[in-house]
């Protein structure tokens, strides 16, 4: 079952992956409006639910082991859908195992350190999923588009030449390689929005009072740097998609489709790690057996010695299968359909 799901997700996710070493021209190579023809919006909710459930299941297993951690980096232009994606895709995971960190304009204290310092402070531990809402990639995006931000970073003058961007790409790749070698899987997602869809989403923020807070005049100003950002993103994707930390370009004009893509990439990462609950050794089994005996002896008069055992036995008899909820059945059918469509392609 796991292998089957992994194969399915791998196929779904493959077209989004930026081949390490390839030269990306964002406008030419990736369509923000793409939505796989085999998924209809109506089915989207069910598929996302299945992805969310799978993530929840695997995150619990990840949390139970102590070798691997996962770092998710989310990048997008304003109104790209980062917040909503996190809200929806992570909705099925235990908040205790996930930490979301949002990165804004760096503080005075942060500027007094090297440019990776503040990101290093927010890295996940083993067993955890860390989500970066914006990430160290801002250091080659917004900072590249607005070189005056570099002036605030207090760098030695001799390091401020043209080669600074090539050097930052290398430093970031090296840092991520180090993290990967030490047990941290890195997933990098770029929500790729079209200029027209950004205009529409900005207008929505202007028109709807409950969305006003999300809009700032600065966002509109940034929009005038659209082409510079596209160029900066293209160079970033070309230089920092690596075997140990590849980039995925997620078509973001259709929110529902973007969310499915993100949940698929994350689920595939966790399936790849394939975390397991720690094995129970003979001593522990002995411990458990003794505990059961003690607890069973405490059963009050008339109560089953171990009511849960009774439940368990019943579910083994296939009662659990009959209890599959409507929702679960819908999800299972959805996954089956998606699988068939993928095979047919
Ligand atoms: P938001 O994500 O909408 O809350 O906005 C955060 C703002 O912080 C964006 O305008 C980013 O461009 C800006 N920002 C994030 N990281 C950096 C950085 N390293 N240097 C300068 N500005 C940044
Ligand atoms: Mg904003």
DSSP for 112-140, written as a single string: TS-TTHHHHTT---TT-EEEEES-GGGGG
Q: Distance between CA atoms of 208 and 339, rounded to whole angstroms?
A: 39
Please report the pLDDT score of residue 81 as a whole number.
97
Ligand 1 interacting residues, C-beta cut-off 6 A: 103-106, 134, 138-139, 142-143, 149
Mean per-residue pLDDT of the chain: 92
Cα 141 to middle of ligand 1, angstroms? 10
Q: What is the pLDDT of residue 343?
A: 63
Q: For 105-151, what is each residue's pLDDT tens digit?
A: 999 999 999 999 999 999 999 999 999 999 999 999 999 999 999 99
Share of the chain above pLDDT 70, in %: 96
CA distance 232 to 238: 10
Count CB atoms within 10 A of the CB of residue 234. 18
| Structure-token pair, residue 287 | 């411990």
Pair 212, 98: CB distance under 8 Å:
no
Rg of the Cα atoms in the chain: 24
Q: Whose CA is nearest to atom 11 of ligand 1?
A: 104
- Tens digit of pLDDT for each residue in 36-90? 877 788 888 888 888 899 999 999 999 999 999 999 999 999 999 999 999 999 9
Distance, CA 204 to ligand 2 centroid (Å)? 14
Q: For position 91, what pLDDT does the model report?
A: 95
Q: Is the torsion defined by CA of 134, 135, 139, 144 positive or negative? A: negative
Q: What is the largest CA-CA distance in the chain?
A: 83
Q: Using CA of residue 194, residue 199, residue 143, residue 90, what is the dihedral sign? A: negative
* Atom number, ligand 1, closest to the C-alpha of residue 104: 8
* Selection from 278, 270, 142, 132 nearest residue 218 by Cα: 142
Which residue is closest in CA terms to ligand 1's atom 6? Answer: 104
Nearest atom within ligand 1 for CA of residue 214 = 3
Position with higher pLDDT, 9 vs 299: 299
Q: Would you state the pLDDT for residue 271?
A: 93
> Does 316 score more than 90 pLDDT?
no
CA atoms within 13 A on the CB side of 163: 6
Distance 132 CA to ligand 1 centre (A): 12
Question: Residues 23-48: what's their mean pLDDT?
Answer: 89
- Grade residue 34 by pLDDT with cuts at 50, 70 and 90: very high
| Cβ atoms of 201 and 258 closer than 8 Å | no
Tell me the torsion sign for CA atoms 138, 140, 145, 147: positive
Contacts (Cβ under 8 Å, ≥6 apart) of 249: 16, 18, 24, 26, 29, 30, 190, 192, 237
Would you state the pLDDT for residue 130? Answer: 98
Q: Does 216 or 36 have the greater pLDDT score? A: 216
Q: Give the DSSP H or E segment for 2.
A: helix 2-13
| pTM given for the model | 0.90
Give the pLDDT of residue 250: 98
């Amino acid at each position: 079952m796991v292998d089957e799901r992994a194969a399915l997700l791998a196929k779904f996710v493959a077209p989004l992956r930026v081949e390490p070493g390839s030269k990306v021209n964002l406008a030419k190579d990736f369509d923000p409006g793409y939505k796989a023809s085999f998924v209809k919006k109506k089915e989207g909710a069910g598929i996302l639910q299945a992805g969310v459930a799978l993530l929840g299941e695997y995150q619990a297993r990840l949390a139970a082991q102590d070798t691997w951690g996962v770092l998710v980096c989310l990048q997008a232009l304003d109104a790209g859908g980062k917040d909503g994606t996190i809200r929806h895709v992570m909705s099925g995971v235990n908040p205790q195992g996930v930490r979301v960190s949002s990165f804004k304009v760096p503080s005075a204290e942060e500027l007094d350190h090297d440019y990776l310092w503040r990101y290093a402070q927010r890295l996940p531990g083993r067993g955890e999923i860390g989500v970066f809402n914006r990430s160290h990639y801002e250091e080659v995006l917004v900072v590249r588009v607005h070189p005056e931000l570099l002036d605030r970073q207090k760098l030695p003058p001799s390091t401020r030449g043209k080669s600074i961007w090539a050097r930052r790409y290398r430093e970031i790749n090296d840092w991520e390689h180090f993290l990967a070698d030490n047990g941290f899987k890195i997933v990098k997602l770029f929500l790729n929005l079209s200029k027209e869809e950004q205009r529409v989403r900005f207008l929505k923020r202007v028109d709807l009072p409950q969305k006003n807070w999300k809009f700032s005049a600065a966002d509109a100003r940034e929009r005038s740097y659209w082409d510079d950002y596209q160029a900066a993103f293209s160079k970033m994707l070309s230089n920092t998609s690596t075997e140990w930390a590849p980039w995925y370009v997620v078509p973001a004009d259709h929110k529902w489709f973007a969310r499915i893509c993100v949940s698929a990439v994350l689920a595939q990462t966790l399936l790849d790690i394939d975390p397991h609950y720690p094995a129970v050794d003979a001593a522990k089994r002995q411990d458990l057996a003794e505990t059961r005996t003690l607890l069973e002896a405490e059963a009050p008069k008339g109560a089953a010695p171990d009511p849960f055992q009774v439940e368990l036995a019943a579910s083994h008899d296939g009662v659990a299968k009959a209890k599959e909820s409507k929702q679960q059945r819908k999800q299972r059918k959805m996954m089956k359909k998606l699988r068939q469509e993928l095979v047919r392609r």
